[in-house]
Structure 1
Amino acid sequence: MTSSRQAYPSDVSDDEWVRGAPYLTLLREDAGQRESSLREAFNGLRYVVKTGAPWRWMPHDLPPWEAVYQQAQRWLTAGCFEQLSDDLRALLRLASGRSPEPSAAILDSRTLRSTPESGERAGYDGAKRKKGSKVHLAVDTLGHLLALHVTPADADDRAQVGHLAQAVQATTGDSVDLGYVDQGYTGEKPAKAAREHGIELEVVKFPEAKRGFVLLPRRWVVERSFAWATRFRRLVKDYERYPSTLAELHMVAFVCLMLKQVARLTNG
């Protein structure tokens, strides 16, 4: 720890901070306008995302919520978490004996219920019977984040394929040539949208003799990634005023997950 306070379970560990600090240091540590340490600001951001606490309910032994919020906005505007996510993902892939950039991705979405903060932009997902927002996600075959964006819940998943495919290729340098999807993405329109960005869609279908729960090949990976996200209480519902904020906090959460995995590799 860099302070004398008692640690919170959400605090960044020493090993994680060593890996993440170079990406989050936008100014020198001795910059005159800095009143709180970067590490403590990151701890504050992690506390909010992990516990779901409102910004103004930041514990008093962390930096003032305004300072944490403003620093988080600087990091997000500068794309710090995107850069950190890309490098952590490559490192974890290399550690598992794979190439740094994936050749396959898995696409899916989940619907988050709206709250008073997000209700004005919410849509109704008839299939899930929820009013809220959809998080459209693309991960590699290890479940690590490649791309995501947020729409109202009534948005058609198939109409989002082109947007996701473009973002995936921008992130990976056009390395992905195969995308796994469920039957909700069936049809020529999503296939054509993905093909325009060099990705062939493969629909993973349920077996005809399905009985009870069936673990679908490849498809379970993205479901696990969504489950990882639900460990962060701020992401269980859509508490954000803007869809961009919801997407950005998902990015922060996945960075936290990957930092922990890399720290385990370092200590293992």
Structure 2
Amino acid sequence: MGVMVTAADVGDRTAAQVLLQRVAEAHHRQELVWADGGYTGSLVEHCLAALALVLQVVQRSNGQKGFVVLSRRWIVERANAWLMRTRRLARDYERRITSAEAMVSWSMILLMTRRPAQPHSRQA
């Protein structure tokens, strides 16, 4: 839906405001965004008020202990693993932000174009 690479000194919540603005402009029908616990606070209100997006923070409840697999969080981790299968993204080779963003987009396009070509195995 959107890719944004920033310098290390840019905070996640600050960058998220810019990225979510871009996504809202490009995808008018987008209504819901999932985020991890680092995006709580004023960003949730900003999304609803300024962008008409519901930002749903996915985190475990206070009473849970130990390792817990959160269904929506797993989707994000799976996508990150798919990106890391592209060796160039496993290291910081890019010198420009636009080049790094293009490599992320290229990796996801490569993944999506290979999927229809793979036969699905049917289990009885």
Return the TM-score normalized by structure 2. 0.85
3-state SS in 1 of match to 2:30? coil
Q: Which runs of 5+ in 1 are unaligned?
A: 1-145
Change over 3 Å in CA distance of 1:209–1:191 after alignment to 2: closer
Distance 1:192 1:207 in 2: 21
RMSD of aligned residue pairs (Cα, Å): 1.9
Distance 1:185 1:165 in 2: 12
Q: How does 1:181-192 map to 2 (within 5 A)?
A: 181-188=35-42, 190-192=43-45
| Match status 1:157 vs 2:9 | no
Corresponding residue to 2:105 among 236, 251, 255: 251
Distance 1:233 1:183 in 2: 28
| Match status 1:147 vs 2:2 | yes
Provide runs of 4+ in structure 1 moved above 6 Å.
none
Q: 1:217 offset after TM fit, Å?
A: 2.7
Return the TM-score normalized by structure 1. 0.42
Corresponding residue to 1:169 among 20, 24, 31: 24
| Match status 1:193 vs 2:37 | no
Q: How many residues align?
A: 120
Bigger radius of gyration among the two: 1
What amino acid is the match of 1:193? H
Q: 1:166 offset after TM fit, Å?
A: 2.0
3-state SS in 2 of match to 1:163? helix
Q: Which runs of 5+ in 2 are unaligned?
A: none
Higher helix share: 2
* Percent of aligned pairs with the same amino acid: 34
8 Å contact kept, 2:44–2:54:
yes
Higher strand share: 1
Change over 3 Å in CA distance of 1:177–1:265 after alignment to 2: farther
Counterpart position of 1:206: 60
